[in-house]
Amino acid sequence: MFSKKVEIAKIKQKGQSILEVVIAMGILSVILGGIIILLINITGFGVSSEARSLAVNYAQGAMDAVRTVKDNECCSFFKNPNGYYKVENNSGGWSLISSSQWVPVLSGNQQLATQMRRSIYIEKIPGIPDIPEEDGRKITITINWQTKGSPDEEYKIVTEMYKWKY
């Protein structure tokens, strides 16, 4: 008699209960939500690395421009006082101009959704034996930017330039 009741219960259960459907949909939504978050993070990493690559290019370009000014105007280059400068490409070539700390180099790039600023700081190098203080300069170029949804990022390049006797 007991086995007959079990068979009747099995015959009546033909579909899924509402509870099973809700649980299945919850599991599916958690999995899809995780996949969407993963894709958004991967896209953010791509944008961040592209912005960093652009910052490296801007810093290298500024360092090349400063080096060109040093090579072409050696005497006046080493007379510059410590301070912030910007580089400008005039019809006669590159020149260094005293400026505020930050100069925009990229504003509102739609693809990267970022703004980049450049700082060029030139200072004397004190305390090197056999080299007068006025014959050496430390150049620090800093690029600062923030991509959408990320904290401020910074790339810094530092070199020393000397007035060599030849």
Distance CA 121, CA 38 (A): 40
Q: Across all residues in the chain, what is the average pLDDT?
A: 80
Q: Is the pTM of this model over 0.85?
A: no
* 60-94 per-position pLDDT tens digit: 988 998 988 888 887 788 888 888 888 888 777 88
Look at residue 165 in the predicted model and tell me its pLDDT.
57
List, in sequence order, every beta strand (DSSP E) within 2-125: 83-90, 93-98, 103-109, 114-124
Q: Residue 38 is encoded by which pair of tokens?
A: 């993963």
* 109-142 per-position pLDDT tens digit: 555 657 788 889 998 887 777 777 778 889 999 9
- Listed by start position, the domains of the chain span 15-162
Q: What is the DSSP letter of 80?
A: P
- Per DSSP, what are the bridge partners of residue 95? 88
* 44-61 per-position pLDDT tens digit: 677 778 888 888 988 998
Confidence of residue 108 (pLDDT cuts 50, 70, 90): low
Distance CA 164, CA 12 (A): 97
Task: Identify the residue with better confidence: 156 or 105.
Answer: 156
List, in sequence order, every beta strand (DSSP E) within the chain: 83-90, 93-98, 103-109, 114-124, 136-145, 153-162
Q: Residue 1 is encoded by which pair of tokens?
A: 């008699």
